[in-house]
Amino acid sequence: MDNNTFSVKPDKRPLHGQAMDALLRLIEQGEYNPGDRLPGEIELSRILGVSRPTLREAMGNLETRGVIERRHGVGTFITVLGQRTIQGGLEQLESVKSLAENSSIQAEIGYRVVNQVSATDEIADILGLQKNASLIRVQTTIRDKFNTFSYLDNYIPSNLVNINKLERFTGGSLLDYMIELEEPKISYTHTNIHAIDAEQEISDWLQVPDGTPLLILTETYFTETGNPVIFERNYFLSNFLNFRLVRQVINPRIEPVDGKNANKSIKPDQRPLYDQTIEALNSIIELSKYKPGDRLPPEVELAQILGVSHTTLREAMGTLENQGIIERRHGVGAFVTAPARGRLQGGLELVEGMVRLSKNAGVHSKREDWVVNQTNAYSETARKLEIDEGLPIIQVEVTLKGKQEIFAYLKSFVSLEFANLDELKSYEGGSLIDYLQERGKIRLDHAITNLYAIAADKETAQWMRIERGKPLLLLEETIYADNGKPIELSRNYFITTHLNFHIIRRIVRNR
């Protein structure tokens, strides 16, 4: 085998994603066939030219997709290739067509409709426009040879693009067009993630039954200077497109920042700086007792108070604006529109116990159910935890309740090597990850997470006291220690009307 043919060639994607694509090329080009055993970690790392932790992340994603099977103490084997899904690293912003091509799936535009429309009050506020301002609406479906899997509903001010050229563009979605145009130059998005039922208009575009669970990414695109230029609602079928993310495990959050005390700048921790800035801005609004309608200090003063750059501050303020907490009025300033902490917010780049996250967000929540049992590791669980099949493990099931309703059901597994059954049964602090961090016997480092929109099955509906079929956001993840060993396997279900996951996505340009 010519190693140079398959080694990772650096580009702007996360290295683990590049390594995963390189491994898929090895398999698809016949170097390895179903049932074959892959080389050991050291040899495979050398072939691909990546570190062993990077290789483990890539192999974890391939295992989740069913491409490989890791047998503890034996090795890693190719399973059946089956139908491939489109894989997307959620932290990177690229078009759906580009994601498909990077997964070696031929995608094409199904339908595209371009119209000139007037801005609704909501979109005008988000894009900083006057009411009824002229917009171009671009509605696009993306499909493979057999199925439509994505519907993109995009809005852009009419003065930023030529509608006739846009109508003639055949290279992909509005994002593809704007990347080629390069003016204005898009830098990043604020993205909120939810699970919904497909209503009639959306189900017609996607050619699926009403009520089909969909993953929706509501996004506002910003230029490098922080100006909003595009608003989108993008709908995806999770069984065709799988968003994945490597999330960092963090320790308890920083203390709140008092907006009246300029000496209280942000103290760096493991989280992205803009996420710390969001929390600090929330604290400024809360502790300084700003009321809806009050104007915040100018940007220069806020950046100085927090000790962050103007770019980081704008990103944080954009997220708060998307959440409806502030409103930025061009040439006038930023104003508070709602109390700072009414809804649970989660930065998807982070792994944190839900009870602690609720506390830091100022939202009341409590454990409703806490059930701990000893069970046995069956095939999938044993493979993902890298233990022998049949070994005893601990299963933890917990529900979290807000003021009135349950909003999360977490089902987790951990080896008896890292947890004590009796301790867990009497533990009152939060979820399994809270217990593992408080116990302090192993340092958790990161998680490989896959996101799906699903319909609640009978068991999940019973735990969450909801109707069967209700749309849920599922985070399926494996949490690893700093030595790369898998520690916890979990399937976490959320009602996204109660909890808002958000992320900043960075544009991916020419590779």
Q: Is residue 511 part of a domain?
A: no
Give me the long-range contacts of 355-360 (CB less than 8 A, separation at least 24): 355/400, 355/429, 355/430, 355/431, 355/434, 356/252, 356/253, 356/430, 356/434, 358/400, 360/253, 360/279
pLDDT tens, residue by residue, 443-500: 888 888 888 898 888 899 999 999 988 999 999 899 998 888 999 999 999 998 777 7
Q: Which amino acid is at 120?
A: T
- Spatial separation of the C-alpha atoms in residues 432 and 414, rounded to whole Å: 9
Q: Is residue 83 part of a domain?
A: no
Q: How confident is the model at residue 149 (pLDDT cuts 50, 70, 90)?
A: confident
Among the candidates 17, 51, 78, a domain finishes at: 78
Q: Is residue 341 part of a domain?
A: yes
H-type alpha helices, 34-145: 41-48, 52-64, 96-102, 121-127
Q: Is residue 510 part of a domain?
A: no
H-type alpha helices, 331-446: 354-360, 379-385, 421-426, 432-439
Q: Is residue 113 part of a domain?
A: yes
Q: Which domain holds residue 312?
A: 254-347
Flag whether pLDDT at 376 surpasses 90. Answer: yes
DSSP 254-310: PPPPPTT-TT------SS-HHHHHHHHHHHHHHHTT--TTPBPPPHHHHHHHHT--H
pLDDT tens, residue by residue, 293-317: 788 888 888 888 888 888 888 878 8
Question: Following CA atoms 350, 351, 354, 360 in sequence, which dihedral angle do they give, to the nearest 10 degrees?
Answer: -40
Flag whether pLDDT at 110 surpasses 70. Answer: yes
- Percent of the chain at pLDDT > 70 equals 79
Q: Is the Cβ–Cβ distance between 198 and 208 less than 8 Å?
A: yes
Domain check: are 199 and 168 in the same one? yes
The stretch 281-299 carries a mean pLDDT of 75
Among the candidates 245, 273, 308, a domain finishes at: 245
Domain check: are 236 and 103 in the same one? yes
Asked if omega into 184 is within 30° of 0 (cis), the reply is yes
DSSP 272-283: -HHHHHHHHHHH
* Number of domains making up the chain: 4
Residue 89: its pLDDT value, please? 65
Domain check: are 191 and 310 in the same one? no
> At 217, which helix (H) or strand (E)?
strand 213-223
Question: Following CA atoms 318, 319, 322, 326 in sequence, which dihedral angle do they give, to the nearest 10 degrees?
Answer: -70
Q: Among the ranges 252-266, 286-300, 436-450, which has the highest mean pLDDT value?
A: 436-450
Query: Which of 172-176, 189-193, 254-258, 305-309 shows the lowest mean pLDDT across its residues?
Result: 254-258
What predicted TM-score, i.e. pTM, was given to this entire model?
Answer: 0.69
Q: Is residue 508 part of a domain?
A: no
Q: Which residues contact 107 (CB under 8 A, 6 or more apart)?
A: 86, 96, 97, 100, 101, 142, 143, 144
Residue 482: its pLDDT value, please? 84
Residue 99 half-sphere exposure toward CB, CA atoms < 13 A: 27
Domain check: are 155 and 68 in the same one? no
DSSP state of 39: P
The CATH number covering residue 148 comes to: 3.40.1410.10
Q: Is residue 505 part of a domain?
A: no
Domain check: are 462 and 395 in the same one? yes
Q: 69 in the Ramachandran plot: left (φ > 0), alpha (ψ -120 to 50) or beta?
A: beta
Domain check: are 56 and 136 in the same one? no
Q: Is the Cβ–Cβ distance between 471 and 479 less than 8 Å?
A: no
Query: Which of 76-80, 117-121, 195-199, 479-483 shows the lowest mean pLDDT across its residues?
Result: 76-80
Domain check: are 110 and 52 in the same one? no
Domain check: are 283 and 336 in the same one? yes
Q: Which amino acid is at 162?
A: N
Q: At 384, is the secondary structure helix, strand, or coil?
A: helix
The CATH number covering residue 64 comes to: 1.10.10.10
Domain check: are 231 and 175 in the same one? yes
Among the candidates 48, 78, 108, a domain finishes at: 78
Domain check: are 284 and 239 in the same one? no
Domain check: are 222 and 300 in the same one? no
Q: Is residue 506 part of a domain?
A: no
- Spatial separation of the C-alpha atoms in residues 500 and 278, rounded to whole Å: 14
- Spatial separation of the C-alpha atoms in residues 50 and 426, rounded to whole Å: 43
Domain check: are 97 and 214 in the same one? yes
pLDDT tens, residue by residue, 36-88: 788 888 888 888 888 888 888 788 777 765 677 776 666 787 765 444 555 66
